[in-house]
Chains A and B, each alone.
Chain A
């Protein structure tokens, strides 16, 4: 400690052992930590139970059917001939149609809210979109059944008659009768599209609005038009948000039950003609069959539900990764 201490002292003296910084928690802290840990474990447990019941319940069906479960289109559990091939294709088809309807509108609406709307209008519009996301699906279902379906029949008929020649999958068996076009994958898809629109819009808008002011001003100061600025700055910045929003919308569309169940007439086959009456999705199938199913039939439904969950899980996780890895996503919650 004296003034003539040589400067190389640190090299000579051994480094003392590191001390533990942890302290004994008080009783109240121990109760607090273990209490909240209990809740966390309970949450884990619920999720574990979901996984357990799905897997154990689905096992008999998967064991009985094997890979056939994924290739069989029929659903005849009594005869042991059942699978989700048709359901899976219908689910994806309805989801894709929903995206085709929802993505352009959502993209435009998100741009409108974040870039074009007058400042006084922005907050009301954001609230409106959030509110639209909170409207129960069953309201969409009854609206689509009574109103939207009637409007879409003429569109479906027009598409089928005028474009059916070039695109054979748009044809239906009896094009003159409007009833050929009811309860189709097209109508269900459009309705689901409205359901997922606010979800996609709100994620895209959130990301767009975070595009840095400096870069925006840089583009504008160079003489860019508003669209030029958006293309140079906002869209590159928000690309991950666009992709993430679309994926999350797809996840919701695949799981949507009540709108599809209310609109479609179920078939057990590939849905090869989306404009024609009849399709099916996993969720709608579960809703329509659970009550009359027991034994292997119910196991089959559980297995179908498990596949659906696997799909939505993969899509949601991927969406989360895409958004959080991006420049824009660091601060975005999805």
Chain B
């Protein structure tokens, strides 16, 4: 890890759009450290996740990348004994500011998990709208200007699921296949119109076909939201991401970023030997 200047990480990021401040959803981690009890799992992580881009977090198991992902929408603190230092700036505002409640940041930063977790008793339709009802936002479900139907359709289309479920929106979310469930979870997260979407190994439990569908979905939604994805699959990282950060934890030491940059740089011209070894499958 070699950052020497942290004056303005956003401005440092050449891969981000010309004026990142205007597009919402730029996420900046500054000097993030994390602990579970006395055990430190992350050390001095700086990372810019520019708006409208897909950032992939790669690295071997136990290097802290999932912890880092969960720090980005304050899921980290749900684990007893979890602690944190540093700042996470969402469009310039620290989401750990004491005056902000966790649920406010989670409403802006959505998350898709490793294992698809639709609400099994709710219908597909209600699953998509679950985020809205959970956060107390009203959508008109009846009458002429039925916003709910439009929103459900738009979210399911964005997640690439609409054509498969349009005729059975009333069936329970648990009745879908694994890959469909995962895309339903993506649709559910998109329905609340988040600025950022975090994905924690979203395809690790899916078959190749479903994986491909989810990857297509990620590319499609990248223009709407900032995507941060944790993956163990190097090809997937290359296929979906614009930028890449390689995490590594040496034996007994907290994880940190070894190398970050545009995906093509990290994969084709890695500057660190360990990165080269990892992306070429020599360890991890």
A–B contact at 8 Å CB threshold (below): yes
Contact with A along B110-124 (1 / 0, CB 8 A): 110101011111100
The distance from the CB of B46 to the nearest CB of chain A, in whole angstroms, is: 24
Q: Given A223-B192, A228-B134, A232-B130, do A218 and B119 touch, yes or no (CB 8 Å)?
A: yes
Structural contact, B113 and A218, CB atoms closer than 8 A: yes
**Chain B residues near A219 (CB-CB < 8 A):** 119, 130, 134
Name the contact of B78 in the complex, choosing from A215, A220, A222, A228 (C-beta under 8 A).
Answer: A220
Name the contact of A218 in the complex, choosing from B80, B135, B185, B192 (C-beta under 8 A).
Answer: B185
Tell which of B6-14, B83-91, B99-107 binds the partner.
B99-107
Q: Which residue of chain B lies nearest to A239 when distances are taken between CB atoms in the complex?
A: B121
**Chain A residues near B117 (CB-CB < 8 A):** 212, 214-215, 217-218
Size category of the A interface is: 20 to 34
Q: Which residue of chain A lies nearest to B185 when distances are taken between CB atoms in the complex?
A: A218
> Considering residues A215, A218, A220, A327, which has the most beta carbons from chain B within 10 angstroms of its beta carbon?
A218
**Chain A residues near B118 (CB-CB < 8 A):** 218
**Chain B residues near A236 (CB-CB < 8 A):** 119, 121
Structural contact, B104 and A223, CB atoms closer than 8 A: yes
Contact with A along B186-203 (1 / 0, CB 8 A): 001100100000000000
Q: Given A233-B119, A236-B119, do A221 and B134 touch, yes or no (CB 8 Å)?
A: no
**Chain B residues near A218 (CB-CB < 8 A):** 113, 117-119, 185, 188
Judged by a CB distance under 8 angstroms, whether A225 is at the interface is yes
Provide the bound-state CA to CA distance between A219 and B117, in Å: 9
Judged by a CB distance under 8 angstroms, whether B151 is at the interface is no
Provide the bound-state CA to CA distance between A135 and B162, in Å: 58
Q: Which residue of chain B lies nearest to A233 when distances are taken between CB atoms in the complex?
A: B119
Judged by a CB distance under 8 angstroms, whether B180 is at the interface is no
Provide the bound-state CA to CA distance between A225 and B107, in Å: 11
Structural contact, A217 and B113, CB atoms closer than 8 A: yes
**Chain A residues near B111 (CB-CB < 8 A):** 217, 221
Q: Which residue of chain A lies nearest to B101 when distances are taken between CB atoms in the complex?
A: A225
**Chain A residues near B192 (CB-CB < 8 A):** 222-223
Q: Given A119-B80, A217-B75, A217-B78, do A222 and B189 touch, yes or no (CB 8 Å)?
A: yes
The distance from the CB of B248 to the nearest CB of chain A, in whole angstroms, is: 26
Judged by a CB distance under 8 angstroms, whether B131 is at the interface is yes
Contact with B along A217-259 (1 / 0, CB 8 A): 1111111110011001100110000000000000000000000
Judged by a CB distance under 8 angstroms, whether B73 is at the interface is yes
> Considering residues A215, A223, A232, which has the most beta carbons from chain B within 10 angstroms of its beta carbon?
A223
Name the contact of A224 in the complex, choosing from B75, B104, B134, B185 (C-beta under 8 A).
Answer: B134
Contact with A along B9-36 (1 / 0, CB 8 A): 0000000000000000000000000000
Q: Which residue of chain B lies nearest to A212 when distances are taken between CB atoms in the complex?
A: B117
The distance from the CB of A48 to the nearest CB of chain B, in whole angstroms, is: 42
> Considering residues B106, B117, B135, B188, which has the most beta carbons from chain A within 10 angstroms of its beta carbon?
B117
Provide the bound-state CA to CA distance between A327 and B121, in Å: 10
Enumerate chain B interface residues (CB-CB to A < 8 A): 73, 75, 78, 80, 103-104, 106-107, 110-111, 113, 115, 117-122, 130-131, 134-135, 185, 188-189, 192
Q: Lowest 8 CB-CB distances: which A-B pairs, in order?
A: A223-B107, A214-B117, A221-B111, A224-B134, A222-B131, A218-B117, A223-B106, A228-B134
Known A223-B131, A232-B122; 19 more pairs at CB < 8 Å: A119-B80, A215-B120, A217-B111, A217-B113, A218-B113, A218-B185, A220-B78, A221-B73, A221-B189, A222-B107, A223-B103, A223-B134, A223-B135, A223-B192, A225-B103, A228-B135, A232-B119, A236-B119, A237-B121
- 17 pairs of residues in contact across A and B, judged by CB atoms under 8 Å: A212-B117, A214-B115, A218-B118, A219-B119, A219-B130, A221-B75, A221-B113, A222-B192, A223-B107, A224-B134, A224-B135, A225-B134, A228-B135, A233-B119, A236-B119, A236-B121, A237-B121
